[in-house]
Each structure stands twice: as C-alpha cells, then as structure tokens.
A and B are shown apart, each in its own frame.
Chain A
Amino acid sequence: MGSGLAILNRNALRLELTCELTQVRPTAQAVRRFLADNGCEESEAIDCELALVEACNNAVEHCEESGRSQPVFVEILCDAQCTEMRVTDHTPGFDWPDRVSLPSPDSESGRGLFLIQSVMDYAGYFRGRGENILVVRKNKAPWGIHPISPRRSTP
C-alpha cells in the first residue's frame, strides 16, 4: 500500500494516497516540491501545504469502513494567477460552513477547516454520490509584489 504520483504536465500534478494518515505528509511534501518547481513563493507553498494536509487528514479521518479501500485523490493545478488544489474523498461528506469559527481555546480539535479557510483565498466543498471534492485556491502575489508575511490577521 502506498501513494501514486503522476505529473500530468509541467503545471499539473495528480496523486493518489491510500486512506491512511501516514500517507498525508509524504503527499504534502511532494506537492510542496512541485509548487517550488513551478516558481511558487515559499509563503504560498507553506499555506498550500497546510491546507492540503488538513484536507487529506479530514478525508482519512472521516472515512467510513466502506470507503477505506478507495484512495484519496489529490490534484494540483498551478498557473500564473493561482494554485488550485482538489481533494476527492469518500466520506459521507458534510455541509461546508460559509465562515468557520474557532473552537474554544481549550478544545483539542476542530481547527482544521478554520486553518484551510484562513490560509486559502477560496474554499468550496462539493458533495456527490460516493465521493466529495474539496476545491481550494491560493492566489499568487502579482509579479514583483511579494509581501514577506502575506497573512490574514485575526481580530
């Protein structure tokens, strides 16, 4: 059991990982290398890596027994304007909230969706029969403008 990787072309990558948490980090690291090879700024690559890990963790952790034999699919599209990542899961799915709130500070879980929404410019979750797709996008900084810390502040 392991992961499969296919570079579709210079700007597109497709991976599939078995439904295990240990597969998530190697997948995210492969994506990070791919983004670096595509000239992605480090801060953008860090944000994409975090969002992808959270998305894949959810895809694995919320998978029911019937879906465990099916891989999680990850697709990355990288162009001059943005990086788009799609994660296909085989969980029962859920309704993606418009705005995710943080849990109470002493909660030991429940920050994953908040992190995805915080570090990405777009997140949409599309529920289907037998599979669901999370689409996230990170816009690229305009040429020549690369803020050192392009982070959203929290109130």
Chain B
Amino acid sequence: MKSEDQGDTLRVGAVKELGAANANAFRDWVRQNLAEHHKNIDIDLEQTRFVDSCGLGALVALHKTVCARNGKLRLLNAQPAVRQILDLTRLNRILDVVQT
C-alpha cells in the first residue's frame, strides 16, 4: 500500500485485497496517514482484485472519518468484480465510485 499527499486529499493506492485478514489494519493505516489538512480520501482500487464484507466495512469506516471533516471518500478505478459488490450492497449510493 502507498499513500500520497494531494493537498486536502490523501490518495491511497496499491491495495491488493481488502478482506477480513487485513481490513482493520488497512483502515487504521489510512487513518494514521491522514493529516489535519486532509479533508478527503481517494482510494485507488485499480490493483484491488478482491473485496469482501469486512473490506466494505473498512471503506464505510473511512467514509465516516472524512464525513466528520466535511470531506468525501472517493473510490477510483474499481474493477468490475469490486464494483459489483458495491452495487449489490448499495454502497455505491453513499460512496463516490469514479473511473478516472
């Protein structure tokens, strides 16, 4: 995983999987990298091949973190299988799912 400071946005990428074994560690790692000036989080899911319900939970947790800062969580370049899970669980309605 890697993170990049983009002004008021923290961009996170190179996430291989978001599952029960690493979802909490991922959530905590992103929060640790979140500086005071970061309002938004962009998570690039281009390399993410698998997300399960625990991974979704981590994304919702981060969504709530940035909402508390009046910011937004964006999910970039999600693979079809990941988009499918976001659609099925209707999280696409509260999270910004964006192709760049």
Contact = CB atoms under 8 A, between A and B. Distances in A.
Are A and B interaction partners?
Answer: yes
B93 A105 contact: yes
B20 A118 contact: no
B87 A154 contact: yes
Contacts of A25: 17, 19, 21, 50
Contacts, number: 74
Given A25-B19, A57-B52, A61-B20, A102 B81 contact: no
Contact of B57 (A24, A53, A108): A108
B15 interface: no
Contacts of B84: 46, 149, 151
Contacts of B53: 54, 57, 109-112, 114-115
Contact of A114 (B50, B60, B89): B89
B45 interface: no
B48 to A, nearest CB: 13
Interface string B67-100: 0000000000000010011011111011000000
A37 interface: no
Interface in B1-47: 17, 19-21
Interface of B: 17, 19-21, 50, 52-54, 56-58, 60-61, 63-64, 81, 84-85, 87-91, 93-94
A107 interface: yes
Q: Chain A's interface: helix, strand, loop or mixed, by majority?
A: helix
B53 to A, nearest CB: 4
Interface string A41-63: 00000100110011001001100
B52 A112 contact: yes
B19 A53 contact: yes
A69 interface: no
B52 A50 contact: yes
B5 to A, nearest CB: 26
A72 interface: no
A22 interface: yes
Nearest to A61: B20
